[in-house]
Each structure stands twice: as structure tokens, then as C-alpha cells.
Amino acid sequence: MVHLSSPVAIGIMVFYSLLTFFLGPFLTMNLFEDHPDKCIAGFLIGFTISILLWMKFGRKYVKKYVSY
């Protein structure tokens, strides 16, 4: 479990959670005006972007700053 091993990793996880739970739903609020449950699409989009960013950049960045 590398995601809580250093302040850098915790900061990256906080960024991903903000992306998933706040920025994603905020961006989709205007896209799905007639849909009754707009936040679910925002969560899904934010989560997908967070996972892609973790796989591409986050894992390597955290490994660089964490010593085992």
C-alpha cells in the first residue's frame, strides 16, 4: 500500500479525491441539465480520470519519493 506512505502520496490522493468527488460532478452539472441524478456521471468521469492519472503518473511519482 503505497498510497499512504508519505506526505507526497497523501497529497496526490487528496488531489484525486477532489477530482473525483468535486471537480467531476461540478463539470457535469451543466452537461446533464435534464437528468435527475447528475452527480453519478460526474463521479464516474472524475474517477476514470483519477485512475488514468494514477496509472500514468502517480505511481511512478510516489515511488520516486518513497523509500522502502
Mean pLDDT of the chain, nearest integer: 85
The span from the CA of 3 to the CA of 9, in Å, is: 5
The span from the CA of 19 to the CA of 3, in Å, is: 16
Residue 2: what are its φ and ψ, rounded to 5°? -95, -10
Contact 45, 28 (CB under 8 A): yes
The span from the CA of 65 to the CA of 23, in Å, is: 27
Cell numbers representing residue 29 in the block: 452539472
pTM metric for this prediction: 0.78
Residue 61's pLDDT band (boundaries 50, 70, 90)?
A: confident
